């Protein structure tokens, strides 16, 4: 009798320990830009609306005004708490102006603090505030600038899962608005505004209607991004440049990749089409109990 | 410089892709009945296959009718021999109508995902 009671207590104890372990382990799940059933992929041309543990590598190539530009952007995002994160980024640029010497080197290092402002699961909405500092003189002489630039930003995402029309449910919008304040009065301030329209095939097949798409198409998100910049003062006041970037993002367990075209929206931006290729590694999935977990819960 | 960076990046990509012993958010890979399907007869059970192993203790699957009444038995269970399969038996043959499947799972690494999808019995 006593042996049976001891066995029962051991059983309950092991269930309790298992439960505590699982609940504790579940904490890192706050990372990743997921709101309810909606996963917002990391966009290639502007910030996604989630605080996350991830590292992204984005390569872009474009010809504009007779010069060729290649940029490799590297970023590392780390959650400090489930709502607070830091992002460190920089890029290596190679500018080949037609007939002039090439410019190559590292851009300034940018450090940003990000806060997950809201995340509503049923509404599939998510919002983020961040403040970035592109640190003056932290890059190479050829590309970096000697002054810092401060950029407050609001980014958000909204899924259409609650609308009644089934064909609209896989659609989501993300957007980011920020203003760049250079610590040099002779340099123009810039309003950066960007948005994306996405159609999630995983969402369609998992939550709306299975249409029989198999790998790799079942994990694809066709997307169109609009990264835009408007000059706010000095001689370029009101002038807008930007791209229309249609493409596709493939999302997997541990990483995503995406490829997009860069089509100039006006002659001021350029007159030829460029290309973007990006990879984003979900560190919260790759190392959920290591570098992928917030430092503090 | 770029010539040095690109091989490093590719190596890192391959290393990450090859990592076998890690687990991530679990998302559905297939289901029976299919999401949004229209059936001519009541299904014997509802099953969802995920793209990774899920924890049996906190993973649930419930089927409700259009009025919100549960029509499945219990909270569902993870198959003993296939840890990617979450299934539930139905309380009886389903009459014509629309039904909603609600699932909530915790992957092996503790990440939680949840969702719902409809199917119809004609």
Q: What is the pTM of this model?
A: 0.84
Q: How many CA atoms lie within 13 A of B93 on its CB side?
A: 5
* Per-residue pLDDT tens over the stretch A127-169: 999 999 999 999 999 999 999 999 999 999 999 999 999 999 9
- Residue with the larger pLDDT of the pair A180 and B13: A180
Give the per-residue pLDDT at B24: 66
Nearest CB to A253: which of B34, B51, B58?
B51
Give the per-residue pLDDT at B18: 41
Give the per-residue pLDDT at A29: 37
Question: Which phi-psi region, left, alpha or beta, contains residue A219 (left: φ > 0; alpha: ψ -120 to 50)?
Answer: alpha
CA distance A63 to A84: 38
Counting other chains too, the contacts that A16-24 makes at CB distance below 8 Å and 24 or more residues apart are: A18/B57, A19/B57, A19/B58, A22/B55, A22/B57, A22/B58, A22/B106, A22/B110, A24/B110
ipTM (interface pTM): 0.79
Note whether B11 contacts A: Cβ–Cβ < 8 A. no
Q: What is the DSSP string of A36-98?
A: TTEE-PPPSSS--S----EEEEEEEEEEETTEEEEEEEEEEEEESSSSEEEEEEEEEEEEE-T
Contact (CB<8Å) A202/B17? no
The residue ranges of chain A whose pLDDT is under 50 are 1, 9, 11, 13-31
Alpha carbon of A292: minimum distance to chain B alpha carbons (Å) = 11
Where do we find the tokens 């899962």? Answer: A161
Q: Which residues have CB under 8 Å from A4's CB, separation 6+?
A: none
CA distance A204 to B80: 29
Note whether B113 contacts A: Cβ–Cβ < 8 A. yes
Over residues B103-116, mean pLDDT: 91
- The radius of gyration computed from the CA coordinates of chain A, to the nearest angstrom, equals 22
Nearest CB to B115: which of A15, A206, A210?
A206
Q: Which residues of B touch A205 (CB under 8 A)?
A: 35
């Amino acid at each position: 009798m006593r042996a049976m009671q001891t066995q029962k207590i051991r059983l309950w104890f092991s269930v309790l320990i298992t439960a505590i372990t699982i609940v504790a382990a579940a904490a890192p799940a706050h990372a990743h830009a997921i709101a309810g059933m909606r996963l917002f992929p990391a966009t290639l041309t502007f910030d996604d609306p989630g605080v996350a543990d991830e590292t992204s590598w984005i390569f872009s190539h474009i010809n504009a005004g007779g010069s060729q530009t290649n940029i490799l952007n590297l970023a590392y995002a780390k959650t400090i708490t489930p709502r607070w994160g830091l992002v460190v980024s920089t890029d290596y640029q190679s500018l080949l102006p037609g007939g002039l010497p090439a410019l190559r080197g590292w851009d300034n290092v940018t450090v940003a603090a990000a806060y997950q402002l809201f995340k509503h699961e049923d509404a599939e909405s998510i919002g983020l505030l961040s403040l970035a500092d592109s640190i003056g003189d932290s890059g190479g002489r050829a590309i970096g600038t000697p002054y810092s630039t401060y950029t407050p930003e609001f980014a958000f995402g909204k899924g259409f899962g609650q609308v009644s029309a089934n064909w609209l449910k896989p659609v989501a919008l993300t957007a980011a608005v920020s203003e760049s304040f250079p610590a040099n009065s002779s340099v123009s301030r810039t309003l950066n505004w960007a948005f994306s329209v996405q159609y999630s095939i995983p969402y369609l097949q998992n939550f709306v209607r299975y249409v029989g798409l198999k790998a790799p198409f079942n994990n694809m998100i066709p997307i169109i991004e609009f990264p835009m910049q408007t000059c706010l003062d000095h001689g370029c006041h009101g002038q807008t440049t930007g791209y229309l970037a249609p493409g596709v993002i493939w999302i997997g367990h541990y990483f995503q990749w995406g490829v997009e075209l860069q089509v100039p929206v006006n002659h001021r931006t350029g007159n030829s089409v460029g290309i973007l290729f990006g990879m984003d590694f979900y560190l919260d999935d790759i190392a959920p109990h290591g570098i992928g977990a917030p430092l503090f819960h | 410089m770029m010539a040095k960076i690109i091989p490093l990046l590719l190596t890192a990509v391959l290393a990450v892709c090859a990592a076998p012993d890690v687990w991530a958010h679990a998302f559905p890979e297939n289901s029976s009945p299919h999401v949004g399907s229209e059936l001519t007869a009541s299904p014997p059970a509802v099953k969802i296959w995920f793209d990774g192993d899920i924890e049996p203790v906190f993973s649930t699957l419930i089927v409700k009718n259009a009025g919100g009444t549960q029509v499945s038995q219990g909270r569902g269970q993870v198959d003993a021999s296939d840890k990617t399969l979450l299934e539930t038996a139905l309380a009886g043959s389903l009459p014509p109508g629309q039904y909603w499947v609600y699932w909530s799972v915790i992957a092996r690494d503790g990440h939680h995902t949840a969702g719902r999808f409809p199917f119809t019995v004609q």
